[in-house]
Structure 1
Amino acid sequence: MDPLSLTASVAGLLSLTIDVTEILSKYIRSVKKAEPESLELRQELCSLCEVLKQLDQFLDGENGPPPRFKDTSALFTSIQTCHATLNSLSTIVQKLPKESSEKKWYRKLIWCLQRDGKMDTIATIRRCIQIFQFSLTIEGCDVLSKTLDEVLVNRETQLNTSKNVTEIVELVKKIQTDLDKKGSLHDSQMSQLHQRHMADERQKLLEWIGGSTNPSSNHNRAMAQREPETGLWFLESDDFSGWIKSPGLLWLHGILLCSTIIEAVKELCSDGTAGKLAYFYFNFQDFQNDSHKEDLSMSALLRSLLRQLCANEPTLPDPVQAICTRHRGTGSNPTHEELTSALDAVIYHLATDVYIILDALDEFPENTNNAQRKKLLKWITLMVDGRFQNLHILTTSRKEWDIDAALGNLANGGLSIQGSAVDGDIQRYIQSSLEEGPLSRWRDKIDIRASIETRLTEGAKGMFRWVVCQLDMLGECTNVSSIRQALTELPETLDETYERILNAIPRTNKVDARSILQWLVYSKRPLTLEEVADAAVLRPGDDPSDPDELCNLSEVLRICRSLVTLSTEKQTEKHFTRRGYLEVEVVRFAHFSVLEYLTSGRSAYFSVSATEAHNYIGECSISVLLQLDQPSQSNKDADARPVTEYAAQYWHKHVCEVEKVTGGLSKISDSAYRFLGETSPRCFLRWLQIFDPRDSIKEDIFRFFAPPRPTAYFPLFYSSLLGLKHATRRLIKSGADVNQQIPGYVSALHIAAEKGHYEIAQILLKSGADVNQQTPGYGSALHAAAKRGHYEIAQILLESGADANRWAKDYGTPLECGVANQHLSICQLLIDHGADVNAATTHGNGSVLLAALERLGPSTLHSVEIVQLLLTHGANVSARTARGWGGERTALDLASAKGFLGIVQLLLDKGADINAPGRYQVGTALQAASAYGHLEVVRLLLDKGADINAPGGINVGTALQAASACGNLKIVRLLLDKGADINAPGGINVGTALQAASAYGLLEVIRLLLDKGADINAPGRYQVGTALQEASARDQVETVQLLLEQGADVNAPAGRKGTALQTACARGAVQMVQLLLKHGADVNAWTDYLWPPGHHGREEPSTALQCALVDDRADIVELLIEYGADMNATNENDRTALDLAKEWGKEESIKVLVERGATERDAVSD
């Protein structure tokens, strides 16, 4: 990092910190009682200001930045991290109230971050402060010591005989020795802090990319239910060993052994060298619940696989990092194309076998939206098409027609897991069941045990589930005759088994049982045991204020024996309640076949249609919520009911399910209207206190802002938010104001556009809703539709007069929203309706075109098409991005850097300046294409007249220098053939083409440049040395050997880095030192104001011997002395090598120097 950039970075960060602190302080003063986290955040910001002011003073001093700052990458990384954090925080706090006269509710807004977000921000700032303080402390001590030394030298000249001065000098020497030791400790601590920070950030990225799905939960549940030694026969089979050894697909159908296989592959991959494992369970229980549907999407699968495969990698692969950069923190999710492309890249670049295991494909329902199972099967077929030589995929499922059609040929028909080996597993399970539980009463009855084992093993036909149900029923037999009779009357199929279980339910419990099963089949999330027991006695329209609860929670399991199971699970956000994240007992169906049977219509009494069940559950839920309007005691009773929280959160979803079929003409639609429109404000607000539907809106701004809680009645807004068509119509007819807004929030039309409720938006617009109504911080309804990609809603808004160029803070124009979220059809629609492609943007991109170009990538969806669309409609090709870490960039530069040849051609056709220079740290389009290795783009630019020798920015040289530094041999050859100046000098941090290639050891490029006449001894400029010095500084032994053979001057004059030998000595590169000495390096060359790599001391060395002390390399000291190094040569302050070694505390070097007869400065003077 160059000093100017570091100084500017600290100054910019200080200015930003002061701005954020002032705004936050105004907010805290404007509210009566600010949150503790806000006060803590302000305190940390004040501390950051103080540290940055001190850093700024050091960096802006007469002599420029202290040397340590120039080489500390951890410091600059922390500045970048802190700047990014405060930029996000700045965007948030700008939305806080600035005037004390604002409404009371707004001043009390629970601002910006949720508590976790605030604490993450505070933790990041603290880490950065800690790193800044470490740097500042050591540098301050260095400066103080240097100042004291200068004072003491002056005093020593005046008072040569003063004993006091001598004592002070000795004291300062001791202080300096301590400081050198602390400097080494400082470097180590800085490195540790940086590594810890990077590890924390990597873990956060992994958690984000993995999403909410955790396959280990299902795996642990399966392992807990597995009988020991089950499936071991398969692990010893040729089929399994063949799959382990050879890439490809293995499809198992029949009895499933997934947990056993996963454990075996885990063991195989435990050391990380034999392979990488990733697995995923498709669980029907998850899919049947609304809050888990996301877990069974293709996106959830791909994200989970990515997280598992990247978990133990030292760094995140570039494609994964790119997804995180593009989407994390923006509220958007990666597309299917982005995820598949990233997963392909990860698998391709892993240097080991990759094992992917997918359990129960058949539990991924076939008739889901977007044909998810079809997409899954297509993805599997593509993954085993021969592209990957290291990929092994194993899937398990029943043999259903669509799975067989997709995978049968690829897996040679699949492997049916049946036969004697499976019978052995089943027999072991039966024997285990006879040793414990109800059947243990027959433990000593040999004949009964034998009959049970024989009959169940023969009747199972490979079905574990059938055996489990029969064992449950046999467990209720209390005498020998009853169990013998039961064994002779066993049902033959699972359907018969379930029919018998249901028919055996006592008549008095059948209604409760039917209610329980309806709730379990059609509930929108997993239900706890308490909730199921409560829901069992609810009836639509009844008064539930005095619930007739089941006398015992275990009655639920008794009534529905063998059909359900109970599992203890830790709650997640999917079923979060106000009681917090607790371990709860969740009721689930025992097997997928139970759900299939109940929804198939094969049971006369217990089968229920989806519409009937949703109507039933929705009416029950509304009945519970209506009790919130009762007097205080009844209110408390209703609130305390276990099912109240479920009812508050999901009642409307059941209403919507019914309205999909009925169009809103149903009894439950009327009930929904009565609850929203005719209930009392008290009941309405009590519902919102239990659950406010706005909390579930996945909008980026809500990660920071908690919308103010309503204190008044807003039924139309909520009917629009929830997508309740009938209630919306009735509320408008009853006189509801279609333009009413919740204070500080949005209108009904805006929220309908946000959520994608087309019919609701139609109803509101026909009823006179203001199509251009806008709320600060949220934009208009068109902004919302453009951001979310709701094409039909955007269309109806525009047709109703929405302003396509309406500008909103934080969003810009609707077109910017569409571009930012890569909605091509939305962008086309907006442009067709007059959207200005050159309107100002909000986030410093300069223009909508540049915003689109910055999102260009090999896996981004529609970005190229969007750029082409904008250019076709007159986007300004000369716009520049705002100055950031990379400087100001042009559209042509961005497109060239990313290698999009067609867009580069289009930009040139539209009049882009081919030689427009970047500003600050970036260069021209030709330099960008040359650096990133895009040969065809370079050809095009040269053919169109690009200046081949145009100078670059601070960190960018000419096109030839950029290509040489990045090792792009073909481009180097092309540029030379086209007349590039091979010896053109570079900028502050860039040398000639040969110097750039030598620094990175790019031998092929070096040979080509030398063959073409590059000046091997061209002097360096600024921070750059000769080619030989640059190679020596980075210990490029082969490069140095080549340069010396080609005539490089081993003793060329040095800059601040020193001669090649001095640099190698400071690096401790003994092999390099030997090589240079053998080629005649001047062992006593003297350089003034030398600051070699790795040096952090107060005194500056001047000779190779003194440089060797930097790393305390006694072996190099010995070697230099053997070659005639003058041990008593002094630096610019007349200090000998022994003086410096003692001051720096280099014990090993001191021993060698003393043994060789080196003397200190005073002895030399004598």
Structure 2
Amino acid sequence: MSQLTLASRLKPEIRLAQAVSLYEADLSADQKARFRADKSRLRDAPPSIRDVMRLTAEIDQAASGKTRCLGPRMVNVLQSVQQFAALGDIIIGGSQNLIACGVWTLVRTSLLLISNHSSYLERLSTVFMEVGRLAPRHERMALLYPRSKDLQSCMCEYFIVVVNLCHKLLKFTQKSSLAQFKASVADGDLKTSQSNLELWATRIRVEVQMLMAEAITDEAVKNSNFRDFSKTLSKSSSYKRQLNMYLKMLDFCSMYDHTVTWKQNRKAGTTRLFCDSAEYKDWKDQSGSVTLVYTASLGSGKSVLLANLVDDLHLHVQDSNVPVVYFFCRYDITESLQARSIIGSIARQLLGRMQSQCLNSDLEMGYFLDRNKLGNFETIFFLLQRVLASDFQAYIVIDGIDECEYSERRILMEELKRLQDTFAIRLCISLRLEPNKPLEVNTDGLMHTTISPIPDNSSEIGAFIQAELESCIESQRLVVGDPHLILEIRDTLSQRSQGMFLWVVLQIETLCMMDSDHAIRQALEDLPSNLRETFSRILQRSERPGILTQRAVLELITAAHSPLTTEQIREALSVVPGNTVWDPSRLPNDINATLACCGCLITLDEEELTVRLVHSSFKQFLLDEPDYVNLESAHERMTGIIITYLSYDMFGTQLSTTVIPEIKAGSVPATIAETALPSSGNIRNLALKLLRSKCETEFDIGKTLAMARPSRHILNQSHLRSYAQLYWCSHLLKFKGLSRRLSQLLIGLLEAKRLSPVSESIRSFPSYTLLYGFADFRLDLGIWTNRDLWKQTFEPPILHLAVVSGHDLFVDAVINHGGFDINYRDPTAQTAILLAAVTKNVKIFESLLGVESIDVSVKSWLGYTPLHMAVLDSSEDLLKIMIESKKFDLNVQDDTGRRTALHIAVLHRKADLVELLLGSDSIDTSILDETGLGPIHHAARFERSSTVMRILTRSSKVDVNLRDREGRAAIHIAALKEEKQQFAPEYAKSTLAVLLASERIDANARNKDGMTALHLTMVNIRSDMSTLLLSPKVDVNAKDSDGRTALHKAVVQGKTAHISQLLSRDDCDINARDNKGSTALHLATSYKTAEVMLNSGTIDVNAKDATGRTALHIASASSCLPIVTQLLELSEIDLNAALDGETAIHYAATQVVLEPKVGKG
């Protein structure tokens, strides 16, 4: 039996072991020693993602200067190899685990060897990039692998191809230079390997999807009983259980793929300038929490610099336990611009590098996660603190923070500060520096911050221009007649670049479009001075008649919440909103030609195959120029396309309805567009054959055409469907208004259950608060305010979405449909009528109010009814509708402060609304809230409520003398105000003045202590208040429960200004006595207060209190020397008045300090 036949009958895992052995056999002695040592080391410490990052950095470092950056192209395949090697001996088994580690070792060895052969490395990286799209990368592979023999076989087959390819690479490096040249010309082996890898990757993906579906079903059945028998599980099963919990923990933190944007930025260029920076070296070598902030102007290469910095850090840490984590924000991926996404991704990376620590941790973490369904920052930090040691160190690199909204930046800075406070975090971020503007991101809270401009890139930008021009000449994208012209281009661009790489790229792309040396020289003489001018010129030059307009393409790309593929854009452009009849003839035949209408301002990612704008500054340019893109119109276009697309019949039935047509060859030219094949090459070839046919024009080729193509009439690939299902709701919420036709289609989709759950759609959006976007700012309305609400898994009702997004026609359609619960309360306690009140949409509110079963008394989370919300939001139109409808109880109290709508209107000084409410016959103005105050009492509390007070006092429905729970009237409360704001005098006293001006006011009303408002003003620091109360209405001699007048109060408080005001009244009784027989003079304790009263000609200085004491007795006994002196100077003072036989002189004699001062009698 031949060895080939024997090998074909061996199990895949045995053949994989043989392939690894054969590779090892061809290594040199030194290489074998290193190979075996690395393989043995990995058995105890399997490779992690940091090994993948380090390897790609080493590849680019070795190939530096010989070719462009290629390492990131290989990340996906390397991750699949790393995950295979990291499955662990407890899952695979001892011997197989050694083989898996051998696969990683030989892949690493081969790539480092081939990195010195730039031409071959370029082709290899292309293969790796293309097969990487299907590479078996799955976090749960360790759980799925032991469950399926088919998966195990497919995985082994896949890595057999990988090992064989690496073996060929090894042999290539061992050949002579001439042999290498011959081998590099013929790359058939690469194409064969690529085909085989794609085949096995596809089979692995199908098997994984089946296993995942089974796992979901099994978990639903077994979850309730899982913990009961978990103690009896074997070691392997226990490990799987812990691993499953660990993976759930990682997914809880984040499911965002942070590597994609890093790869795109890393492939954009290479720089090493930062390596020589003193700031960078110092930051890198620190052991505690420090921060390095790189600043630069727009388009100067900040993102590329930080992408290279990530590589350098991975090479720097080598085998240390300090992880390097990173996050690159993308302006066109809304999820990446959220603080929750950034912190969650950082946490996942940190925990992902601590698998062993996590698996050895107490499973209490899992129980905590089971009970805490909100993805808040507290939960994330709980996990980090449970797993990471207190002396844990890490590098964190974040780029693009400027692209986030202000609120997200603020939250992000707070959470980064908390990370630095908790662990030793060396943080590096980049910020945009605008001319004559401070940084938009506040870094004050970060630890030991160093702010540094990026190193001068003038030398590198020159090299970049040189390399780009060489590439353009070699690829014939740039054709010149005069060879010297290329030097003119190089020198001109170098002089005018101002450090902006983006500007340079766009100018080179523009020059490549020129068809003559004359045109190129003219362009060089008239180069745009900035990016905005560059954008405008390219758009004007690129727009061509006869194809879909720039506006349609740019709106789709700009509105997209994640980058669209070319096929998704192609399908989107073919959709006519509202027309559910699929017309394949509307598909652009050449999507690349269609996209060319935007010139070089849109780019195609070579790996993701997605289309994106060239830079965030171009998006801002489009939004600033209404002639190009209006964001709301863009979302309207996208929403119409999505709803129509998902309404196509083929998505409802999923049945192929292809009918084999009878088509005569002679009629083919007229019908070929309708039966076009997906492959433009196949279409072109078939069309040529048909046109060149000179005989038998009547034969039936319909069957041939039907067999030759998958039916375009049923959108077999449905490229746009995944995006549409994920973001339909997000786009729906982004614009106001929906046509009646689209509303009907959306209702149909909902009835047929052909839309993905709203929770999935919203969770991918910036924040779930887009549905309740006002929540963060309207705590007073009782809307749920947890900013991580979007992580909950409930499905908001479509009616709520329609109300919040302002789609009145769609709301009408839902109401008329009748199949929805109009009073449904979601987990945030919101109903449609509550949301309509908050959004202040009158038309929608009236539509809901017209439903007979609508519950208008429903309350929000904080207990507010729609009536309360309308008042809080100053919605006069809504309040009018509510009052006129007679459906609302105007006196209903909220659950927070037991306040009515009138209370709220008065508190917020909404005069128009107060007047509206008082105009209703059913209003009750005497209701007291939780604090025991009525509306008029609240108006009296604030000077700025004078207008509201005037409205209240004029209304006959308001009792101006209403008492609160403490027995106070509004005039008492107004008299006690001590506001210190600087108002005009007449405004500052206006509230009390308004009350006193009312004919119905009782100016001498007493509180429970018997005090009038005049008494209360005596304790107020403001004399203007007491001045108001000296009107004729006020009894200046009114006494409180202690028998004291306002004058008594003023003297006790030492308020000389108040005393003077009171004494200015002719009817003020200066000798009035309180219940203890004391006059105001008896109570005087300071020189100034006594002086004011003694200057009054009507005062009785010898009056005695109930105990027989005069003022002189009291002053002498109290050592009040200034008052004694004042009294002794009066001629009418009676020095012989005695109390128990003792005169004031006797009292004074007992006070040694007074003896020298007594000079009379």
Query: How would you bin the TM-score normalised by the shorter chain?
Result: 0.3 to 0.5
TM-score for the superposition, normalised by structure 2: 0.42
| Structure of greater Rg | 2
